[in-house]
Chain A
Amino acid sequence: MKFGVVIFPGSNCDYDTFFVLRDVLGQDTEFLWHKEHDLRGVDCIVLPGGFSYGDYLRSGAIARFSPLMQEVQSFAQKGGIVLGICNGFQVLLELGLLPGAMLRNKNLKFLCQYVHIRVENNQTPFSHQAKRGDVLKIPIAHFDGNYFAEEGTIAEIKTNDQIVFRYVEADGRVSEDANVNGSMESIAGLMNKEGNVLGMMPHPERASEAILGSEDGRVIFESIIAHARQS
């Protein structure tokens, strides 16, 4: 299978994600430049973290107008696998591929730290190699990670089992303290109704090598790889 990592002006985690996919996990990986229309036959598109377009206007607001995003939209509509990490999640929200919006963190400061997230739904291409209830230690690094959606949308998200990861304490409990950015429903990772697009604020590429402190993020990439093999 082939991964494609999108580069917008201002993307910062593109090289990191590329490195983990290609060098750590041994996968065929390409960069996709935002001005192009060619998806290069990839099986999974990753929108990496960073500050695309400087986060001017709103995080992800300008990125979603890039030529490549038209292709990403069709790709997703046809059922292609799309993973948005941090700024990538924000782009997916702006594109409308995922419902809701991101607000400033509840403490109004940028937060870079490890958090724990619990697997809420493992019947997805992104989490099927984990078990429901598994707690993963993965870092976050963002200013605007406070997930918000209207009441009706939240109800729909829950009915359709779209919440894939929630912020929790190390022992797996949901709590206000563990929800460091204040997200509604402690949502850390959200899927679309169709189950082929995932947005998550924590950075799994930063938790894929033991030497950096945690390997808990690998299971997300490994799930995508296994899913592609099965299809």
Chain B
Amino acid sequence: MIDKKILDEHTLTFKEYELIVKLIGKEPNITELGIFSLMWSEHCSYKSSKIHLKKLPISGKNVIQGPGENAGIIDIGEGQAAVFKIESHNHPSFIEPYQGAATGVGGILRDIFTMGARPVAVLDSLRFGPLDKPQNKAIMDGVVSGIAGYGNSIGVPTVGGEVYFSDCYSFNPLVNVFCIGLVEKDKIFYAKAEGIGNPVLYVGSKTGRDGIHGATMASAEFGDDLEQKRPNVQVGDPFKEKLLLEACLEVMQQDFIVGIQDMGAAGLTCSTTEMASNSGAGIEIDLDLVPQREEGMTPYEIMLSESQERMLIVARKDRVEEVRQIFAKWDLDAVIIGQVTDSNRLIVRAGGDIVVDIPVDPVVNLCPVYERPSARPTYSRTRAQIDPVPLTENYNLTLERLLASPTIADKEWVFRQYDHMVQVNTTLLPGADAAVLRIKNKKKALAVALDGNPLYTFLDPLIGGKIAVAEACRNLACVGARPVGVTNCLNFGNPEKPEIMWQFQKVIEGISEACRVFDIPVTGGNVSFYNDTEGESVYPTPVLGVVGLLPDIDKTVSTGFKKNGDALILLGETREELGASEYLKHLHKLEKGSPPQIDLEVEKRVHDLCIEAIADGLLQSAHDVSEGGLAVCLAECTFLSQTKIGFRVNLDDSIRIDALLFGESQSRICVTVDDKDRERFLLLAKERQVPATVIGTTEGDRIIIDHRGEEVINIPVAKALRAWKTAIPSQFASK
């Protein structure tokens, strides 16, 4: 009988072990057990989430590839397709921030180019604990350096993303990395192992002992054995990956290979079994042929290693030499380590013996799927209640404090470390609502937004899920782009806790409903469970990466005010909603209340109007209202304008002033129009049934907000700008 200790080390339950024995018809040896341990881990098998993920809408007329492959693919016309996905690298980034984040970038890049697409941009969504704790500062510094180090070196621009701070991330930082690439529709490659006798080639870096059990580490909570987990973190070499990328893309221009899969989580184990399973075939390999950089590696270590920058290729038998030559040109190992069979089994030899002999199907497809119990937690009722808070005395000070709060403050310290211009496609610089990437020699352009508010989601996961989608689409609308597809990264706590499963289910429901209203298919994504340390979970954090298409690159607008004298118009309505706001959190120390309500139909009308107005050339600027509310939104428009133009607005609403200034009511966008276009725009808004109120004008060097003629905010732009700009750099300034 198997030792419970061994099972625990492999994060398999006894029931799962019994099932394995039944499926493969024998007791697995240690290497075979290791294989199941990885492939049946939460990270690889999605066993706790599969049942719920099925509810996401995945079909659409432009979907070339939905969930299930390395990345999702959307047809964008003119023979091209966009390949994109988001992945998490949370647990490694806590253990070893630089390498954890760097290899996160490396992994998602491989997911894109393994399908034949040249990666054109990376975006990241980062969540850290508060910066007044040195540990969180160190993690943030390491993570940003790691993303920069890898992305810059390999020549893919990191063009945007978000950075968000909350207590719950202190021991569980979240690092979600999104990547998008472009491919010719007829040159897409899949993870296939077809053609009996076709050679299986190993290409890229040599295999070492790094990252062993990386996948299982990502499938468990952190306890007090943190330091020992360091060898679980993979180490990246972006130069090698650059060579790998160029060599693979060169090979893919021809008809030399049948299938290709990157070796990411679960390395050789995952690539061999998945490729075989996808094609109903079998694979035989000999580990003696695998290039190794350590001595004396056991079959267990070689099969489980997560050494980076490696790919597995099934080549056409008659074109192997040409494939090898291309890899040799780029100074990369390309070694035949085995072949495709029709046995439907994975057979691995080492030292002349057979060390693994198992059917492929159980490994890839027959991991039990769990419908774990879910139950609405009491906090969800109690935290929704909130007593009215006193109005603050000084709104100038309140605005400054919000502008200086790290989640809202300027992120230039972060994105200045990223090469965001390489590949000469970046049309809108980081800091804007969405990243805009022109496509060379084409009129249309790509736009990408990453969004997800964890506090909303914690307080009401159904609304949080809806708003995550809505906000990302709103950001796309602000640059004039229509959403065409979405990938999601779902970061949650321990799924064995009913309240976490309840959060998960509700979020999926919210995302599904919003995707249906906006008519965008989910093309894939990632689930990261077990983001807890010693029982404390992170807020449920859905990060939505929405890809949009801009029909004409010459017709886009940026966030900042353009000139004095433009009319400032607010689209949408402000309600008296303070729940779950940054204002409540920072000024009143409350993370309570219900998140703002969301009417998806109204939201869609606002987006459509914005997109139409931009296409008609009516708008000078557009910026969505989100964290910090209207006052923060307007201040950001000032900060992002070339000459830092101020504004003067008058608000008439009869709700609490703090809700008016800082509440986070949804479906609102602030636009500016040239005075001559004002009437035409207001008429268009009326026709499209979108509330549009002229609230003021862009002018001068002060930020002035009146309420019914009474001044409530009046600050020099320079003062507010300083608060916003220095907040984060001052945390990292050397003593």
- A residues contacting B by CB (< 8 A) are 9-10, 12-13, 15-16, 19-20, 23, 35, 49-51, 53-56, 109-113, 139, 141, 143, 203, 205-206, 209, 211-213
Contacts and interface: CB of A to CB of B under 8 A. Distances in A.
B421 A51 contact: no
Interface in B389-444: 415-424, 426-427, 429, 438, 440-441
B438 A112 contact: no
B427 A54 contact: no
7 contacts: A12-B154, A20-B424, A54-B239, A109-B416, A110-B152, A111-B416, A211-B427
Interface residues of B, number: 33
Given A23-B441, A51-B153, A10 B423 contact: no
A65 B155 CA distance: 22
Interface of B is mostly: loop
B164 interface: no
Contacts of A206: 421, 424
A139 B421 contact: yes
Contacts of B415: 112
B330 interface: yes
A50 B424 contact: no
A114 B486 CA distance: 32
A205 B420 contact: no
Contact of B330 (A9, A113, A203): A9
Contacts of A51: 152-155, 238-239, 242
B557 interface: no
B469 interface: no
B239 A203 contact: no
B571 interface: no
Contacts, number: 85
B155 A112 contact: no
Contact of B242 (A10, A16, A20, A112): A10
Contact of A55 (B153, B243, B421): B153
Interface of B: 148-149, 152-155, 237-240, 242-243, 329-331, 415-424, 426-427, 429, 438, 440-441, 553-554
A19 B423 CA distance: 10
Q: Across the A-B interface, give the 9 residue pairs with the lowest CB-CB distance, nearest first.
A: A12-B155, A54-B239, A141-B419, A16-B424, A51-B153, A110-B417, A112-B419, A206-B421, A110-B148
Contacts of B418: 110, 112
A209 B429 contact: no
B640 to A, nearest CB: 14
Give the interface centre of A49, A56, A141 by most chain B CB atoms within 10 Å: A141
Contacts of A141: 152, 419, 421-422
A75 B410 CA distance: 48
Given A112-B418, A141-B152, 8 more contacts: A9-B330, A19-B440, A23-B441, A51-B154, A54-B242, A110-B152, A112-B152, A113-B416
A23 B438 CA distance: 15
A55 B441 CA distance: 32
A56 B239 contact: yes
A180 B395 CA distance: 36
Given A9-B243, A12-B242, A109-B416, A211 B438 contact: yes
A73 B449 CA distance: 47
B424 A9 contact: no
Contact of B422 (A16, A56, A213): A16
Contacts of A50: 155
A13 B155 contact: yes
Given A9-B331, A10-B242, A54-B237, A19 B419 contact: no
B239 A53 contact: yes
A213 B329 CA distance: 37
Nearest to B332: A9
A170 B735 CA distance: 30
B242 A213 contact: no
A71 B155 CA distance: 27
B282 to A, nearest CB: 36
A96 to B, nearest CB: 24
B418 to A, nearest CB: 6
Contacts of A9: 239, 242-243, 330-331
A53 B240 CA distance: 9
Give the interface centre of A9, A15, A110, A112 by most chain B CB atoms within 10 Å: A112
Nearest to B420: A112
A120 to B, nearest CB: 25
B421 A203 contact: yes
B429 A16 contact: no
Contacts of B329: 35
A143 B419 CA distance: 10
A209 B438 CA distance: 12
Contacts of B426: 212
